[in-house]
Amino acid sequence: MIRRELAMSVFRIGGGESVDPGSISFVEVDTSRDLHFAAVFVSLMDEDGIDAELKMKWLRRHRVEFQQIIADRLALKYTPKLHFKRTTAIANGDRTLKILENLEDGSSGCVMHDDGVFPGN
């Protein structure tokens, strides 16, 4: 529920600022048992560089606004304090899919063996 609300609210909060809200994905939210804290794992389109760090700073700067939206829209006993953390889960998945596609096309330069993939000659 919290992840869905964050995903919908990022466009409202991000309007008119230099950060592209479409490049921010909320991958997972882990809440503490007492709902006082929530770790929000974020994947960014631009995984590297200054742009990614600016997006993380932007999320942290608007943390209270995100929390207020959660408080207004969800019937929770407590509204958790959000802690945004970068994850590369989506980028890692994309890399894995590209490797698999290359293996299917035969263009990777790798040879499949019974016990795994090894560099070909």
Query: Would you state the pLDDT for residue 97?
Result: 83
For 20-29, 34-43, 74-83, which range has the lowest pLDDT when averaged over its residues? Answer: 20-29
Quick one: what percent of the chain has pLDDT higher than 70? 81
Give the Å distances, CA to CA, from 10 to 3, 22, 56, 70.
11, 8, 13, 12
Query: Please, which pLDDT band fits residue 51 given cuts at 50, 70 and 90?
Result: confident
Superfamily for 2-89?
K homology (KH) domain (3.30.300.20)
- Three-state DSSP at 43 gives strand
The residue with greater pLDDT, 66 or 120, is: 66
Q: Is the pTM value of this prediction over 0.75?
A: no
Q: What is the mean pLDDT of residues 67-85?
A: 94
Q: What is the mean pLDDT of residues 29-45?
A: 93
